Amino acid sequence: MAFPKWTSATAILALAVPGATAMGKKTMNQPSPVPVELKAEGAHDVALEPRASGAWEIRTTGGDPYVLTKPFPGPVEASRYPVLAFEYFCPSGLDSFQIFLGPVFSEKRSVEAGKLGVAEGWIKHSVDLGRSPAWTGKIPLLRLDFGRRAGRTLRIRNIVLRTYNARELELAASRAEREAAKARLNAELTRYLAADFPCRVTRVGVGPDDLTVHWDLGGRPAHSAVLCEVPIWQNVTETRKFIFETPLPDGESSMTLPRFSDAGGTRHDRLLSAWVLVEKTGAPRRQLLSHAHYADDDAIRGARNLPAPRPRSKKGLGGFDPARCENGADAGELGIGFATVNVVLSFMRPGPAKDTIPFEYCGRTYHAARPMIERYDRIARFCAERNIVVSAIILIPKPRGFAGNLGRYFTHPEYDEHGIFAMPNLTGAEAVNYYAAALQFLAERYSREDGRFGRIHYWIMHNEVDAGWVWTNAGRQPLRNYLNTYHKSMRIGHLVARQYDRNARAFISLTHHWTQTEDPRFYLPKDMLELLSRWSAAEGDFEWGIAYHPYPQSLWDPRSWEDKKVDFTFNTPLITFKNIEVLDAWVRQPFMKFRGTELRKVHLSEQGPNSPDYSEKSLRDQAACMAYAWKKIEVLDTIEAFQYHNWIDNRHEGGLRLGLRKFPGKEFNCARKPIWYVYKALDTPAEDAACEFAKKVIGIRDWSEVRHTGPIR
């Protein structure tokens, strides 16, 4: 939300809510939101249809699509309602969104609201109308203009005009200070990652009770440097007063220290700390002599002797829970080898209760909700009994998704309410301990040698972090600042899991947008992978993997072989089924490999072609796309898993029908679609016969025609 640079916190309040004079106090006479209702009459270049739960589906049919609202019961006073808020679902995004003030519509009486970004789930969106000089006087009705292109589909619901909420006021009041701090951190991180330091911390090994730090001073005398601890809640670029530092002994190149420490006033596990060499000088801002270095994941002593995963097939199911359909019989019939499970950290509880499980972390007792954990137990045991490899997708809800006040410890402090999920809060010792405690509880429980509760093999850290504004929200952040937090979250998940399972690893989750996105608040997967690779190498490389989502170009259209925004270069706008070979080539580059030698694991952890409806053609195209995708990925040995999303059509996915089965309920009863039978046959002797029909649909004679074997430029 933007305000003039000169606007003070008090002035912001006065502008937003008449009569408000102080932050933190309950404002008086706040008007209730005014519902905004659309009407079919007067719509232009759109097909407008009502849908369930009060939603409208808007399909643009020309270059000037707009919809009128019903007149408000009484004229709206613009100054009292400066925000237009709604929820929308639009996998393609819109190139623009404009609000016209009625009853006579003109450009002078309109507000340009920028793009409506890609929304592959229902997300909240708000437009700050109060900043526009056009938003004045009494407003009897509105006209909403949905871009300038035909062929776009959007669903919208819960449209209201309202005043600024408390969170918007809070963020606005501190905006200038926060933006300056972000710019400073971004500049420091840029210099830090590019620096060629004279010294190195070469290795950090961790045991049950101690850790050993090794270093190389590059010829400098030992008395010129000190070894410092950087806890994960601090940024090495901003820290010159460290919570722990010690001189280097003459003639030595390593030092052993206690693993657990009370330095800084909070007991913490140094497994999660980084170690850095710093100039020994009395200057107020001492110079770094090395990059920071975290624990090496192959130097954690005492990990349990669990067997390496040996999946029976690349095939998998996403968001798996056998309770969703026929007690999970599809797991056997479809022959899946992988499953993803959404694990939401709202299972944490603020204190003991009759339905909680107590557990210890760093000398403190924490509590988990037994019903939620027992559900995860049931899923993990089901998969373990059938040799299905499980990847947990770790999700952080918005603050109100936690019991009590735990949201303030778990949810990123700059989380914006428009996000569906959040980045974790890693800004303080207590917050880090809560997060690490939750992950350690899961890792210990699901990495037992007796397999009592089943097993989690891999850890996908959050969801589609390039679309973080929606799926892993930390507010608006420069890329380096955002990835600084995300990289730390990956480190925590990876190192905590490696204590118990030497085969565990963390994965970064990414959409199919490679070098292009419709939403300026999103990041680019190619940039993120390049930066993560550099960051990981600088601070002690670890075996992270890639969880990619190569949906077709349009989530609505299953005919991915017709995708236009793809090519076979490393600068392709998107990576979809059509050019999945680009991802295979990308991970083979030396800089992308773990320590320059080992290929990183790639899981296609969420994707599936849509059936626009249940007509014969739509179902045939959907099934053909599955055959097409499989015939391309089955020959790519970098791709270890294909977790199909969604197992069953979901009425909460904005009208998409991605499932192998139809909607649940009496009307469709989870009936199997043609794609179900294709998926069952894949990776079996029946595969070629089951996929034969798709050649005619795609327009080929042989599957070799769809596989790219030329160079990737």
Dump pLDDT digits (tens) for 274-284.
Answer: 999 999 886 66
CA angle 526, 200, 185 (to 5 degrees): 50
Q: Cβ distance 99 to 110 under 8 Å?
A: yes
Smallest CA-to-CA distance from 415 within 357, 501, 476, 456 is with 476
Q: Residue 338: is its pLDDT beyond 50?
A: yes
Q: What is the mean pLDDT of residues 99-126?
A: 88
More confident residue, 108 or 605: 605
Distance CA 667, CA 651 (A): 13
Q: What is the pLDDT of residue 283?
A: 67
Give percent of the chain with pLDDT exceeding 90: 80
Q: What is the pLDDT of residue 520?
A: 86
Residue 700 CA: distances (Å) to CA of 304, 581, 665: 50, 19, 38
Distance CA 603, CA 337 (A): 12
Smallest CA-to-CA distance from 153 within 196, 91, 109, 213 is with 91
Read off φ and ψ for residue 316, nearest 5 degrees.
Answer: -155, 180
Q: Residue 21: is its pLDDT beyond 60?
A: no
Q: What is the pLDDT of residue 29?
A: 66
pLDDT classification of 24: cutoffs 50, 70, 90: very low
pLDDT classification of 23: cutoffs 50, 70, 90: very low
Q: What is the mean pLDDT of residues 66-78?
A: 91
Q: What is the pLDDT of residue 1?
A: 30
Q: Are strands 225-230 and 244-247 parallel, antiparallel or unpaired?
A: antiparallel
> Does the structural domain 315-706 have CATH classification 3.40.630.10?
no
Mean pLDDT of the chain: 92
Q: Residue 432: is its pLDDT beyond 90?
A: yes
More confident residue, 170 or 602: 602
DSSP string, 14-83: HHHSTT--STTSPPSSPPPPEE--EEEEEEESEEEEE-GGG-EEEEE-SSS-EEEEPPPSS-EEGGG--E
Place of tokens 């006021």: 169
**Displacement of CA 42 from its chain's centroid (Å):** 39
Q: Residue 574: is its pLDDT beyond 80?
A: yes
At 40-55, the pLDDT tens digits run 999 999 999 998 888 9
Among left, alpha and beta (phi > 0; psi -120 to 50; other), residue 370 is alpha
Q: Residue 172: is its pLDDT beyond 80?
A: no
Distant-in-sequence, close-in-space partners of 96: CB < 8 Å, separation ≥ 6: 112, 113, 114, 115, 145, 147, 148
DSSP string, 123-176: EEEEEEGGGSTT--SEE--EEEEE-S-SS-EEEEEEEEEEPPPHHHHHHHHTHH
Q: Residue 693: is its pLDDT beyond 80?
A: yes
| 3-class SS shares of the chain: helix, strand, coil, % to 5 | 30, 25, 45
Q: What is the pLDDT of residue 239?
A: 65
Q: What is the pLDDT of residue 11?
A: 31
Which of helix, strand or coil describes residue 453?
coil
Q: What is the pLDDT of residue 654?
A: 86
pLDDT classification of 103: cutoffs 50, 70, 90: confident
Give percent of the chain with pLDDT exceeding 70: 95
At 261-301, the pLDDT tens digits run 999 889 999 999 999 999 988 666 789 999 999 999 888 98
Domain ranges within the chain, ordered by starting residue: 31-162, 195-205+212-295, 315-706
Q: Residue 413: is its pLDDT beyond 50?
A: yes
Q: What is the pLDDT of residue 282?
A: 67
Q: Cβ distance 227 to 277 under 8 Å?
A: yes
pLDDT classification of 365: cutoffs 50, 70, 90: very high
pLDDT classification of 463: cutoffs 50, 70, 90: very high
Peptide bond into 646 cis (omega under 30): yes
Place of tokens 């199919």: 512
Count of alpha carbons within 13 Å of 667, Cβ hemisphere only? Answer: 5
Q: What is the pLDDT of residue 592?
A: 96
pLDDT classification of 117: cutoffs 50, 70, 90: confident
Q: What is the pLDDT of residue 353?
A: 94
Q: What is the mean pLDDT of residues 678-689?
A: 98
Smallest CA-to-CA distance from 200 within 222, 212, 215, 221 is with 215
Q: What is the pLDDT of residue 131?
A: 83
What does the block give as tokens for 146? 């949905």
More confident residue, 603 or 8: 603
At 623-675, the pLDDT tens digits run 999 999 999 999 999 999 999 999 999 988 888 999 999 999 989 999 999 99
Q: Residue 26: is its pLDDT beyond 50?
A: no
Smallest CA-to-CA distance from 654 within 86, 63, 87, 41 is with 87
What is the dotted CATH code of the domain comprising 31-162? 2.60.120.430
Q: What is the pLDDT of residue 115?
A: 86
Q: What is the mean pLDDT of residues 403-430?
A: 94
Q: What is the pLDDT of residue 516?
A: 94
Residue 511 CA: distances (Å) to CA of 248, 289, 549, 582: 46, 37, 5, 14
Q: What is the mean pLDDT of residues 497-522?
A: 94
Eight-class DSSP state of 485: H
At 214-243, the pLDDT tens digits run 999 999 999 999 999 999 999 999 866 899
At 370-404, the pLDDT tens digits run 999 999 999 999 999 999 999 999 999 999 999 99
